[in-house]
Structure 1
């Protein structure tokens, strides 16, 4: 499945780069495009989510899917796309997050404000709503996921850590979105992720640094383990 999705993403990317291929920069309906490409609608949906996460497409509610592809000479965009497909990059990112975010969670538990806890809980509510969507909220969910983790970093009250995390945020959001697309293949994964985030935020809320670190380690560690298992299967 991963190989097929990767091939379809590459095919779509070439198609949207062709001048005049899609009038008004709008893609055909999902059904029409899937039929013309000879692929399932589920596979097409995953490819569109991937390209949306990369900034090549924009899905507008009740309007359709539109091309927002960067210029061909956008070197940063090219690098961003090229870095996506080596699957080990997803695992490497998760390993990096384990190193950085576990101790940050402990600091956040000690230093957070009540308002920050409220913001974290609102984030989880939005993440849960996104997870109820038919596609599991891969793209929208990734945004709330990233925002929640950024709130936790800021609650640690260390400007250097915040700047470091902000510098990685754009790339991380795309990888988080990609990870969600892959992990959504696991039954019950959206609910599991919401529960893990709730456990993390509640540990921070009760100012339990050890509990927060353990919750963060479990959350990121379980995602890393699942990604490695799925990568081996493919």
Structure 2
């Protein structure tokens, strides 16, 4: 993921501050909306198209769109893609767009990918047998937790935190705890999960946890590391696909609609 950029914001005492990359991209998308929203038939490109136009990764675009959702400028709707909401009565404050609402969801996942994978490798060598029994109980808990939005599931958090503590490294454990705390408090994380249909992806993620546990039981550090990496990458991919699928559905609906209209015109001309 690209590094943050420095920018000076009005009203701040510091001479400058680090602006997250998604905030910079959010500004560009907001300017695009302001310049084109009154053009007949205009709509925002898909996230994939925005990624290509702006020269940044899809996760960064996804985070920028979430930031604009939080600001009330756009909304991601299933089968419609990114919808520009009615113009607010006041002018969009681009300075306000830079207000830090915390790290983006993919920023957090990228950090977890690096730290938790290595924690799993250490835990494979150091975790006591009774802790592995406890891990399995957390997977059982995940089976029982049925929150539609995947936001209040304690089994998942407990599973990952036990592995962090079992690494035997207090610094690693505290870093992972901090990352999960930021996730739990993140308005952007919550907004992103509004687009996730939990029942369809829960079996995949639970399967990932069984794979991690199997590697730990084998005391195979490299396998445990790979299993954790695969799990977090699966989470990242599913979060991306959640928005992409909605936009693909919208395009397909538009194509089918145009085809139906064309067929009706052909029938009328006969």
Distance 1:152 1:222, change over 3 A: same
Alignment partners' CA distance in 2, 1:106 and 1:10: 40
Alignment partners' CA distance in 2, 1:139 and 1:211: 28
Tell me the number of residue pairs that the alignment of Structure 1 and Structure 2 aligns.
157
Distance 1:217 1:137, change over 3 A: same
Aligned partner of 2:209 among 197, 203, 207 = 197
Does structure 2 retain, via aligned residues, the 8 Å contact 1:90–1:227? no
- SS of the equivalent of 1:207 reads coil
Distance 1:128 1:163, change over 3 A: same
- What is the aligned partner in structure 1 of residue 102 from structure 2? 83
Q: TM-score, normalised by structure 1?
A: 0.56
Distance 1:112 1:177, change over 3 A: farther
- SS of the equivalent of 1:194 reads helix
1:174, distance to aligned residue in structure 2 (A): 4.3
Alignment partners' CA distance in 1, 2:211 and 2:116: 15
User: What pairs with 1:162-173 in structure 2 (closer than 5 Å)?
Assistant: 162-173=173-184
1:177, distance to aligned residue in structure 2 (A): 6.6
Does structure 1 retain, via aligned residues, the 8 Å contact 2:118–2:225? yes
- SS of the equivalent of 1:138 reads coil
**Structure richer in helix, relative to its length:** 1
Alignment partners' CA distance in 1, 2:164 and 2:239: 24
1:149 aligns with 2:160: yes
RMSD: 3.3
- What is the aligned partner in structure 2 of residue 117 from structure 1? 132
- What is the aligned partner in structure 2 of residue 216 from structure 1? 228
**Unpaired segments of 5 or more residues in structure 2?**
1-61, 73-98, 248-270
**For residues 70-113 of structure 1, what are the alpha-carbon distances to aligned partners after superposition, in whole Å with 9 as ceiling and x for unaligned?**
xxxxxxxxx89x338xxxx1111111111111111111111100
